[in-house]
Structure 1
Amino acid sequence: MTRSRTRVDAHVKVLDDDVVALAKERGIDALVYAPHFTRLPTIRERAARYTDDELTVVPAREVFTGDWGNRRHLLVLGLSEPVPDYITFEAAMTEFERQDAAVLVPHPGFATISLTRPEIAAHADRLDAVETYNTKLLPHQNARTRRIAAETGQPGFGSSYAHLRGTVGEAWTEFDAALDDADAVVDAFREGGSRTVVHRGGAGHQLRGLVEFAHLGYENTWEKLDRLFLSGDEPTLPSNVAYEGKFNDVSVYSGSLSDFRPK
C-alpha cells in the first residue's frame, strides 16, 4: 500500500458486493463489520470473503450486555473466541480483557442501549475509544457524544453505523498511518493511534442519517419482536449449544431468550 492514512468506517451492519463497491467509491480503506445476532465464525468468514487489496473488512461483534430492557452495547474488535450476547457487563468485560480485544463504545448515552457518561468514566481504563460521530444519530445527540468523550478523556471514533447499504462510507475514522490488514486496524484502536473523525456533508448526508434513524424504530419493534418471540434460540444467546455452557452462570436470562424471564 502506498497511502499514508487509512479511512476506517468503524461500524457497519451490512456487507455484500454493493456495500464493498460503495465503500471503495467513497475512499474507504477498511470496514468494521459487526452484524447483530451473528456468531463470530460467520462474521470472520464473510469478512475474509470480501477483503481484497483495496478494502480490508475487520470482523467484530457488537455485544449486548445486560437484559433487553437495560442492555449496554459494546463494539469489540480482535476477539479470538466467540462471546455471546445477554451476559452480565462485568463478565463480558472480563472475557474481552482475557482475549486482549479492543473495546469501543458505540452511540454513548443513547436511549437505554448505551454506556452512560458515568459508566464510561468508571471503566475508562478498560475502554479503547468512544464514538463521537454516528450517521444514525441526530446533531444534538452527536454533540453529546463528543462531550462525553472529552469529559472522560477517551479517544473518539466515527462510523456510518450503516444498517442500510447506501449509508456505508457516510462517516469514518481516519488514522494517520497505513493500516495494511485487520490486525493493524485493531491495534490502531487498541493503542490509541492518532486519528481524525470525518463525515460527509450536505443535504444528502443529512437525509441518509434521517433514513437510518427512521429505520431504527422499525428495527427495534417488529423485526426484534419476530426475532425474539417467534424465531426461537438466537445463535448469540449464552444458551446456544455452540457455547457449550461456558457462559450459563453469567447469563442474564434463564433458558431461551424467547422465555424472556430475567433471573
Structure 2
Amino acid sequence: MHVKLLDDRVAARAKARGIDVLVYAPHFTRLPDIRARAESFTDDDLLVVPAREVFTGPWHDRKHVLAIGLTDPVPDFITLDGAMAEFERQGAAVLVPHPGLLNVSLSTDEVRRYRDAVDAVERYNAKCLPSQNRAMRRVVRETGLPAFGSSYAHLRSTVGEAWTTFDDRIDDEADLVRALQESTPRRVMRRSGVDHRLRGLAEFAHLGYENTWQKLDRLLLSGMEPTHPAHIAYRGRFDDVAVY
C-alpha cells in the first residue's frame, strides 16, 4: 500500500519480492479505469486492489487521503469533510498517507479530528526522508491509530521496498478492507541498506518533478482532469463540496 504505476514489470517485481497484494492508486485517474487495470494484472500469484488517493482541498493546501473499497468514483479537489463523508457512505477503508509531509498531508491535529473515520496512518513511506518518517511515527504514536507502511512507488525500482504484513489471509479486496477496518494485527516492514536508501532518494527527487513541471502541466496545459469534480462523469454530485 500503495503504488502509482502498474505494468508487467511492476507486477513481476512485486512477485519477485514476495508481495501478495498490491494496492494501485494512480493520481488523476477515475475509479473505473483503476479497477479495470487492477483486474487485468491480478492472477493466482498477485492480487491488485484498486484504490483512490483523493486530493482534498485546493492545490496550495491539498490533503491526500487513501480510500480502499470504493464502489463509486470520488473526485479530487473537494473538501476534506466532503471526502470523508463520501468514504463513510461507501463503507471504504480510510488511510492517511505520509502524515505531515509538506503541504499535501493531514496534520496530527487533523488526524485526531477525523480519528473515528480513519482506519490507519502511514508509519513508513519509502519515498520519504528519514526525518519525515520519524515524524510519521510520532503521528502514529500520538494518535494511537493502527499503522501501515508502503513503497508509495512512483518508480518501478521502489516496488517492494516497504510493505505491511497482516496476520490474516487477504484473498480479495473485501478481505483487505476488513483487515484495515477491524485493526487486524500487522507489522510494518521495509528493506534496509545502501540500495534501499538510494531508491528512496530517487523517489524523493521525483517529488520535485511532480510538484513543478507535472503540476504546471496539470494546472495549465492539460485542461480538465478526469477526476475534477466538475467533470461530466460526476453529474454534479459533488458541486456543493467542490473547491474549484
The TM-score range, normalised by the shorter chain, is over 0.9
Query: What are the equivalent positions in structure 2 for 1:168-179 lying under 5 Å apart?
Result: 168-179=159-170
For 2:116 and 2:14, the matched residues in 1 are separated by 33
Name the residue aligned to 1:6: none
Aligned AA for 1:248?
A: D
Aligned AA for 1:35?
A: P
Name the residue aligned to 2:208: 217
Query: What are the equivalent positions in structure 2 for 1:57-96 lying under 5 Å apart?
Result: 57-96=48-87
Name the residue aligned to 2:95: 104
Which of 40, 44, 53 is matched with 1:49 structurally? Answer: 40
Gaps of 5+ in 2: none
For 1:168 and 1:99, the matched residues in 2 are separated by 29
Does 2:134 match 1:143?
A: yes
Which of 25, 30, 44 is matched with 2:16 structurally? Answer: 25
The C-alpha deviation readout for 1:119-173, integer Å capped at 9, x for no partner, is: 1111111100000000011111101101111100110000000000111010000
The C-alpha deviation readout for 1:75-102, integer Å capped at 9, x for no partner, is: 0000010000001111111100000100
Deviation at 1:185, TM superposition (A): 1.2
Q: Secondary structure at the match of 2:211?
A: helix
Which of 164, 170, 174 is matched with 1:183 structurally? Answer: 174
For 2:41 and 2:242, the matched residues in 1 are separated by 33
The alignment of Structure 1 onto Structure 2 pairs a total of residues equal to 244
For 1:131 and 1:211, the matched residues in 2 are separated by 20
Aligned AA for 1:27?
A: G
Deviation at 1:11, TM superposition (A): 0.8
Does 2:188 match 1:197?
A: yes
Gaps of 5+ in 1: 1-9, 254-263
Deviation at 1:222, TM superposition (A): 0.3
For 2:175 and 2:152, the matched residues in 1 are separated by 21
The percentage of counterpart residues that share the same residue type is 64
Aligned AA for 2:110?
A: E
For 1:247 and 1:177, the matched residues in 2 are separated by 36
Q: Secondary structure at the match of 1:126?
A: coil
Give the TM-score taking structure 1 as reference length. Answer: 0.92
Q: Secondary structure at the match of 2:86?
A: helix
For 2:214 and 2:64, the matched residues in 1 are separated by 18
Aligned AA for 1:48?
A: E
Runs of 4+ off more than 2 Å: none
Deviation at 1:249, TM superposition (A): 1.7
